[in-house]
């Protein structure tokens, strides 16, 4: 076991040295709040770009230190049309997934002629029995992390950056191979003060900002309702998705986008950034309740070691290739983007076919018996199992 841990420690130390900021960076508190006049100007001008950050770029260590960005101003915002998800595949056993955004599914208006049935309120004794896994913080019951949900849209920070810095952001985020640059409406959040000097009277006005978005592309786009490609119709004979090579050059994605868990290192960057920017308390609690991927067996440690050595060349390609070959807009050459997609897709194919059956789950924390912390039987049959247990008691 020691022979497995020593190379891991060596490579981890090398990674930390490479990612460590080479020069000091200013604190988040020193960046001024974006003025209203700039918010309602075009999102891209000759002097600045409005960029919405929601993942590790919230953290000063990453955004200001590692990437060397120097924002002109910043403002906390809510983007109600998006949700925070972790469905962008990373590296199994190391960084299973990264933050992404998804379009929120707005429910249809209820039919006034057919009102929904109100479910019965559980008695106190039943609530206590079902909530046995809960714990209390300051007298408030906290729901277990795997059941945590956030239904209020995306919360993040809009940075005003120079066009040169925005090109650096795109280059360090894959140079256009992982994310697409889109415009999204945002609402400014008021600063955290107890009593406002000038209470807001007018309705909040949205403004547009750039953000990075990786759409989830399913295998089939038959136009069914709820499909991510609804309305595209069936695939045509000349559709590239019919070609044998499509599985290698497509944007990497997983069959169950909600299955993977981000690493503890990555989640800490997000929670640290949310605390530094003083994002809403309930959103910070949601982020703190997210469960990180944890290795629980020695087989997973071996799988992690294999990934460390096999993915190291790809790591250098992504870091150095995207920075050296990206243009002024932060876009990498097409051949490099294709190479990155092929390597990542082959990595996940190798994981699904070989590593996972032998070494265990590299995306989600599993217990000692080898089962995932959220199996399909727990998601589908939890209510039935609890009812059966009550009958047996």
> Residues marked as binding for substrate?
51-56, 266
Nearest partner of 364 among 290, 261, 262, judged by Cα: 261
Helix (H, G, I), strand (E, B), or coil: what is residue 28?
helix
Look-up of token digits 């070494």: 359
Q: Read off the tokens for 198.
A: 């000038």
**Residues known to be catalytic:** 173
- Alpha-carbon distance of 225 to 230, in angstroms, equals 6
Give the C-alpha separation, 236 to 160, whole Å: 43
- The residues that bridge with 215 in the sheet, in sequence order, are none
List of residues 6+ apart from 31 with CB closer than 8 A: 71, 73, 74
Q: Burial level of 64, CB count in 10 A (0-12/13-18/19+)?
A: buried
Q: Name the H helices within the chain.
A: 2-19, 36-39, 60, 124-130, 163-172, 246-249, 264-276, 281-288, 298-310, 312-316, 322-325, 334-350, 356-359, 376-392
Retrieve residue 56's tokens. 């590790």
Token couple for 266: 């990555």
CA dihedral 323, 100, 273, 164 (to 10 degrees): 30
Instruction: Give the separation between CA 84 and CA 181, rounded to whole angstroms.
Output: 16
Residue 101: closest CA among 183, 204, 175: 183
């Amino acid at each position: 076991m020691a022979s497995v841990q020593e190379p891991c420690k060596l490579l981890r130390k090398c990674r930390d040295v490479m990612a460590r900021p080479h020069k000091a960076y200013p604190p988040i508190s020193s960046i001024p709040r974006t003025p209203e006049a700039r918010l309602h100007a075009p999102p891209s001008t000759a002097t600045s770009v409005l960029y919405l950050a929601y993942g590790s770029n919230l953290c000063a260590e990453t955004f200001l230190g590692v990437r060397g960005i120097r924002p002109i101003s910043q403002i906390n915002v809510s983007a109600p049309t998006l949700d925070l998800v972790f469905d962008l595949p990373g590296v199994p056993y190391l960084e299973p997934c990264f933050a992404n955004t998804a379009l929120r599914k707005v429910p249809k208006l209820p039919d006034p002629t057919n009102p929904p049935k109100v479910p019965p309120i559980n008695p106190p004794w039943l609530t206590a029995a079902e909530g046995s896994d809960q714990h209390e913080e300051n007298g408030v019951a906290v729901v277990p992390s795997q059941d945590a949900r956030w239904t209020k849209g995306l919360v993040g920070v809009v940075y005003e950056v120079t066009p040169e810095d925005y090109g650096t952001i795109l280059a360090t985020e894959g140079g256009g191979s992982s994310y697409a640059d889109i415009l999204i409406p945002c609402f400014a959040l008021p600063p955290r003060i107890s009593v406002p000097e000038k209470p807001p009277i007018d309705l909040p006005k949205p403004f547009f900002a750039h953000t990075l978005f990786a759409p989830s592309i399913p295998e089939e786009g038959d136009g069914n309702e709820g499909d991510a490609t609804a309305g595209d119709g069936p695939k045509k004979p000349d559709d590239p998705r019919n070609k044998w090579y499509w599985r290698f050059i497509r944007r990497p994605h997983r069959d169950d986008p909600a299955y993977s868990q981000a690493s503890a290192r990555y989640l800490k960057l997000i929670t640290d950034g949310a605390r530094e920017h003083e994002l809403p308390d309930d959103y910070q609690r949601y982020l703190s309740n997210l469960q990180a991927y944890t290795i629980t067996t020695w087989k997973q440690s071996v799988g992690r070691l294999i990934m460390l050595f096999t993915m190291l060349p790809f790591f250098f390609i992504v870091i150095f290739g995207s920075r050296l070959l990206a243009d002024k807009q932060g876009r990498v050459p097409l051949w490099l983007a294709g190479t990155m997609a092929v390597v990542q897709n082959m990595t996940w194919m190798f994981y699904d076919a070989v590593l996972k059956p032998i070494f265990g789950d590299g995306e989600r924390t599993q217990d000692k018996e080898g089962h995932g912390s959220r199996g399909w039987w727990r998601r589908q049959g939890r209510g039935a199992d609890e009812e059966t247990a009550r009958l047996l008691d």
